[in-house]
């Protein structure tokens, strides 16, 4: 298993890997450590802050985003 989940329901920044897919933090403005979670529908790698609990994020991303 590659773990390359395709994550849907993202906004433009999230889909480009420029914002957290969980809390929406803008990585261009907020310097926070983040980890890759998978890929968007456009094949860009997407990220979540380490504090956003990547394990949970992988399960919930695309389903419970505001």
Q: Under the rule (CB under 5 A), what is the footprint of Zn ion?
A: 20, 22-23, 25, 49, 52
Is the CB of 7 or the CB of 52 nearer to Zn ion?
52
Q: Which residue is nearest to Zn ion (CB)?
A: 20
Please give the Cα distance from 32 to 8 (Å, whole number): 22
Q: How far is the CB of 20 from Zn ion (least distance, A)?
A: 3
For 55, which DSSP code? H
Q: What is the DSSP letter of 34?
A: E
CA distance 24 to 55: 17
- Residue (30 or 41) nearer to Zn ion, CB: 30
């Amino acid at each position: 298993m590659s773990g390359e989940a395709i994550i849907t329901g993202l906004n433009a920044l999230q889909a480009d890997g420029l914002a957290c897919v969980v809390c929406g933090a803008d990585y261009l403005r907020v310097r926070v450590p983040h980890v890759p979670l998978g890929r968007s529908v456009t094949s860009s790698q997407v990220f979540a802050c380490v504090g956003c609990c990547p394990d949970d994020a992988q399960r919930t991303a695309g389903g419970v985003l505001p």
